[in-house]
Every structure is written in structure tokens, then in C-alpha cells.
Amino acid sequence: MVLYFSGFSGNHHPFASSSSLSVTREMQTGEEIVYLVKYAFIKLGELKLVILEKKQKDKETYYRTKVYIDSYSGIPFVDIHQIFESNFSTGQYSLFFRATEKEKNYIKFTDYTFDYAKNKVYVKKGKYNPYQIWADSSAKINAKFQDGLSIFYFARMNTGQKKFVKVPCFVTEKFESMSINFYNTIENISIDAVDYNIPCVKLDGNTTFRGVYGLTGEFEGWFTNDKYAVPTIAKMHVYIGSVSVELKRWKKQGWKPPQAN
């Protein structure tokens, strides 16, 4: 969701070279940020993103992260309750991805395990309560991939630069890509959660796949111009139309949105 930044502008500007970061980006374990998803004036639901911990295994240092995706009750045509989990390397590529979704009588899951030493991605699909495997397969890979959640953090850690990237993604058991334009111009953004403007840097781009809420196509989003690059506001196309995603609340040690001069 990459979930969170799809948009309307359609003006893509590939850059031949990148400029230097004005601020080095950092991940903070324990971070919890919540976003309100709106369609026009209708509040559809919330996204809660959590950085659980930083771990090391087999000489690979990685972060464990989750996003909780919940639509509000009583919204016509929208009933979504999903959890995505991603373990991704500090080198900015996915190691493991899990999606779970509540059905009426059970919880279904999809797992992706990336084994770059063997050039393989392993896919497992099934359900809990009772546990049952529906599919267990693998595919050959020749690059390092992002999953539907790790791409969000990849984007955060690369904001503030002036460059274009095309990122390999493995989503819904398909090899896809996301094109992203990063900008280093600071823009002042207003949101309801604070009573001042927030200095942000922008990205926009395009996806070849359909993701959360039916996310597809062009996107744009603004991130705080500080070391944490917290997403502040975004616009996206989904299956019901154009929606906005706005920072609502956060639990983040020693942090609040920076204030514009």
C-alpha cells in the first residue's frame, strides 16, 4: 500500500540523477500511526501501521511491521478487515509477508517467503480455525522484491530525494512493479490533527497492480521532512472512486509533526 499513496496528478517526471537527502531517514521501533480513509465526506475506515521490532537472523537485520486495515461498520459496499505483516531487511527488500483476512467462519491467510540465496519465493495459502493448506508452491526470482507493505517503508526511507525508481513487487502472487517519482521540494501541508502547517516532501507514481481497497493506478503522497518521514496525507484511486488518507493520531516516542516556519 504500498498502500497509502495513490493519486490523481498523472504528471510523471523521471530524473536522470538524484539529489542528496537533506535529512537521513530512520525507523523507530514501537511506532504506531493511524490514518483516516475518506471518500469525499464519507469516512470509510482506518489504517493502523506498527513497527513491532528490529531483529537479526542468519546475519540479516530486519524490521517486523504490521498494518491493520478496518472499514467502519455500516458503510455500503465496503467491509474490510485485514492484517498485513512484513519482515523486511534494513537493505530495503522483503523477506517475509503475511496477509490475513476475516471471513464469516474462519480466517484466511497468504504467506510469501523470499529465499534470495536460492532465487525462490515460496507461497502458501490456507485458513485457520481449523488450519488447512489450500496451496503450497514456489516461483523463481531474479531480483529483490517489495511486498504490499514493505513498499510503503521503502518509499518513506527514500523521500526527500529527487529521483525516479521502478521497484519490483510481488503482490497477489504476481510479479509486478511500482514506478515512483521522489521530489526534494518542501511543501507546507495542513491536516485536521494539528493546528499548524507541516513541512513535507512529495512523491507520486503509478502501480501495475490492484491492492488494498482496490488501490490501483496513479498515486501521490506527502511525508514529513524530518528523519522519520511520516506520511501525512495522500490521495488514491480505489474501486469505489478517489479517496484521501490523512494522518489522524500517533504513538511515537518524542515525536510530533514538525511545524513550518
pTM score of the predicted model = 0.87
Q: What is the pLDDT of residues 208-253, one digit of tens each?
A: 776 554 556 788 999 999 999 999 999 877 655 678 899 999 999 9
| Count of Cβ atoms closer than 10 Å to residue 220 Cβ | 20
- Residue 8 in this model has a pLDDT that exceeds 60: no
Report cis status (omega within 30 of 0) of the bond before 168.
no
Please tell me the distance from the alpha carbon of residue 46 to that of residue 160, in angstroms, as a whole number. 26
- Residue 15 in this model has a pLDDT that exceeds 90: no
